[in-house]
Structure 1
Amino acid sequence: MRNPSVEASRLILIGSAASTAMSPDLWNPVLQELGTGWTYEPWDVPAGGDLARTRGRLLEPGILAANITMPHKHWAAEAADRVTAPVRLSGACNLLVKEGRELAGHNTDITAVEVLLDGVSHRHALLLGAGGAARAALIALRGNVGAVSITDQDPRASKELMELGLELGIDTRTVTWLAAQDLAGDVSLVVNATPIGKGSSDGPAWGSGPLAPDAMLYDFVYARHTTASVARARGMGLRYIDGWDHLREQAVAMVPLLGLDGRARGLLQETLGHLRKAS
């Protein structure tokens, strides 16, 4: 494990609403239990914020690494000095690890989706959203999906993600948001890669219609309430993976990248369980 007495000791979360995220509540008890002396803190950086300054701050003494969340995962991939193959492929990065005066980019979102989908094949997947989370899902589905339909409020983002899917050899197409609501009842996998569900009054991400009897839901959103998407899937007796599951697995994937003691895996799961019960 890294020696906190001679190395940087601050982990950062960068996002437009980082201060409302649960990641610090997840990580800080684990870091304390491990005796690292490290802390995990949020930096709110709005869309269109000064990202050049943010990168400069990451290179200041005391910073160990940074998690990246919406809407800055594409920026993080470009800001890194070196990236892994999954980051290069996806164009998205959710973890920057400082190595000297350079930043190494990783994507533990992809690892988490691969672990949670467990190689199960899907005849047709619907991606709601076309940002970094959707890219992680698309790459994780490679080789295990017959077709993928993508929708996003930004048609350009949908088109870019469709082009990536085609490059990966996936039968990929874009659909309008309205068409996606009709399509949701026919696909075998619905991926909510939007913020829909963060608000307790939000409805299911795909609308009010039912899902197919063999459908599975992957909801990236985690909140202090059960999202309407998960509640709807649960009510229909369907399989689902929620944002808490994803948060756990992407955090577990960070453990070796940060050089943490293997005990961190169990502690992360235990702490996450406490957070879920308290929510």
Structure 2
Amino acid sequence: MKRYAVFGHPVLHSLSPKIHRTFGQQSGIELDYVAIECAPGDFAAALSSFAKSGGQGANVTLPHKQRAAELCNLLSNRARRAGAVNTLIRHDNGWLGDNTDGVGLVRDLTGRQGLDLRGRRTLLLGAGGAARGVAPALLEAGVGDVFVVNRDSTKADALIDQLGEPGRMHARYFDDLGTLGEFDLILNATSATRHGTLPTLPMSLVGPRTAAVDLSYGEAAIPFLAWARAAHAHTTVDGLGMLVEQAAESFFLWHGVRPDTDPVYTELQARHAALITAD
């Protein structure tokens, strides 16, 4: 049986094993897909052990995406541009790294959510692996100027340098947020809400057509989306659809089969809604 995994810290809550098993059932492909918890300092060893045990592919989530890129001896064009990897493909001499986060996000926003991203003035909160994964695809989808805000300004500058779009992308501090005006698209790519905190965000960022998107899903997305609704954002979206779509792209890279994402998304969304109602 083919072996796959998702690496992260924390990761045991991940829906990826269920998603990929469902894709396998759809496609008639038998596979073993598990979640592997490992701290940042243990990731390289854990990945090596997985490869030696027959692992043929893996997904990578926080906080390992940039380290994963460093461990690959081959990178796809989109992984190289992002400087971060979320999908690993085993080959004879090591790992090929790719990044399906951006295409997954854009497919969800433009397809399932029906958003036209072209020309949208965009605020990207965060400059880590999650932000790096989606920024190139957003630019390719035609968004307007992108303002990157991160607590460590050097990371925001590094992201802009990585993408080579200095005229279109702009680094700012969190203290600048009150002076930036309204945005048509606001994306939360920080990990702060995973720890129960949300950076102070002025409501002046939100206008009548603003779409607010959290790249996380479940409880981690609640604080940001609650802020966006209180600010009267036109549209609020969590990262569940992105999760399913990026998984489908990974599945395609591994197996050459493109799964049907709609029934998987519908099932997971219904389960999430039921959990919120129960609480």
Hey, what's the Cα distance between the residues in 2 that align with 1:189 and 1:262? 29
Q: CA deviation at 1:40?
A: 1.8
Relative to 1, partners in 2 of residues 1:168 and 1:184: Cα closer, same or farther, differing over 3 Å?
Answer: closer
TM-score, normalised to structure 1's length?
0.83
Relative to 1, partners in 2 of residues 1:100 and 1:175: Cα closer, same or farther, differing over 3 Å?
Answer: same
Q: Does 1:22 align with 2:18?
A: no
Hey, what's the Cα distance between the residues in 1 that align with 2:144 and 2:202? 25
Q: CA deviation at 1:162?
A: 2.3
Range 59-68 or range 24-33, more displaced: 24-33
Amino acid at match of 1:56: S
Equivalence for 1:77: 69
Q: CA deviation at 1:42?
A: 1.5
Match of 1:194 among 168, 182, 190: 190
- SS of 2:268's equivalent in the other structure is helix
Equivalence for 1:150: 148
Equivalence for 2:103: 111
Amino acid at match of 2:210: A
Q: CA deviation at 1:113?
A: 2.3
Equivalence for 2:161: 163
Relative to 1, partners in 2 of residues 1:123 and 1:38: Cα closer, same or farther, differing over 3 Å?
Answer: closer
Q: CA deviation at 1:138?
A: 1.8
Q: CA deviation at 1:84?
A: 0.9
Relative to 1, partners in 2 of residues 1:121 and 1:264: Cα closer, same or farther, differing over 3 Å?
Answer: closer
Equivalence for 1:209: 203
- Give the total of aligned pairs: 267
Equivalence for 1:43: 36
Q: Percent identity?
A: 25
The answer for unaligned runs of 5 or more in structure 1 is none
TM-score, normalised to structure 2's length?
0.83
Q: CA deviation at 1:225?
A: 7.1
Q: CA deviation at 1:64?
A: 2.1
Q: CA deviation at 1:14?
A: 0.8
Amino acid at match of 2:124: L
Q: CA deviation at 1:16?
A: 1.5
Equivalence for 2:272: 276
The answer on whether the counterparts of 1:126 and 1:184 sit within 8 Å (CA) in structure 2 is no
The answer on whether the counterparts of 2:20 and 2:33 sit within 8 Å (CA) in structure 1 is yes
Equivalence for 1:220: 215
Q: CA deviation at 1:13?
A: 1.0
Match of 1:56 among 48, 54, 61: 48
Q: CA deviation at 1:242?
A: 1.2
The two structures, once aligned, show a CA RMSD in angstroms of 2.6
Amino acid at match of 2:268: L
Hey, what's the Cα distance between the residues in 2 that align with 1:219 and 1:76? 23
Relative to 1, partners in 2 of residues 1:129 and 1:262: Cα closer, same or farther, differing over 3 Å?
Answer: closer
Hey, what's the Cα distance between the residues in 2 that align with 1:136 and 1:39? 26
Hey, what's the Cα distance between the residues in 2 that align with 1:28 and 1:77? 25
